[in-house]
Amino acid sequence: MLLWTSSVCQPNKDTTIWLTIFPTNMVLRVNINQIEPATRDWICKVQIVEIGRPRESLDKKCTFQNLILEDEEECQIKAVMYTDEIAQYAATLKLLNTYLISTAKVKVSPTSYGKPIHKFQWTLDKETVIEQIKESHEVERPLPPPTKLNITSFDRLPHLMVDSTAEI
């Protein structure tokens, strides 16, 4: 069991939480903007605000699925899963559910496919620890539905390609 102390939820007041599935060393409770590739032993509370459908890579070598995660400060980040993890997490990861995520791989977002929503992206793999926060959780409360909107202006619509790989 892990003792986790944080003052993120309640400034100027430490919050102690016992988690059963996280590693037995201390982890740092942080928000998305505080996590970089060099950050170690972190945990982040996020809500899934968008789930893409599984797609085949351009080189046809693998299948991947994109997720958009949002933290308590409404900061968003893209997370990606690959073939094995898509099946592994299919029953666990649901739209608008809240999770505590730890040990996701963090890397710089590629810019070759357009402007990323965050400078980093997460890869969820078999090493990633994910715990759903349910309504009945004694200490943690699920995040409320998101209020941040991703808006595309009408003048950009003609520039969007609608094909089998587009998500609307």
Fold observed for domain 29-144: OB fold (Dihydrolipoamide Acetyltransferase, E2P) (2.40.50)
Confirm if 17 and 139 have CB atoms less than 8 A apart.
yes
| Length in residues, the chain | 168
- 75 or 11: whose pLDDT is higher? 75
pLDDT score of 8 more than 70: no
Find out whether 106 and 36 touch, Cβ atoms under 8 Å: yes
N-terminal to C-terminal alpha carbon distance within the chain: 42
Residue 14 is predicted with a pLDDT of: 41
- Convert 18-43 into a string of H (helix), E (strand) and C (coil): EECCCCCCCCEECCHHHCCCCCCCEE
Which tens digits make up the pLDDT trace of 135-162?
877 778 888 887 766 666 676 656 555 4
Average pLDDT over the chain, rounded to an integer: 80
d(CA 112, CA 129): 29
Distance from C-alpha of 123 to C-alpha of 65, rounded to nearest angstrom: 10
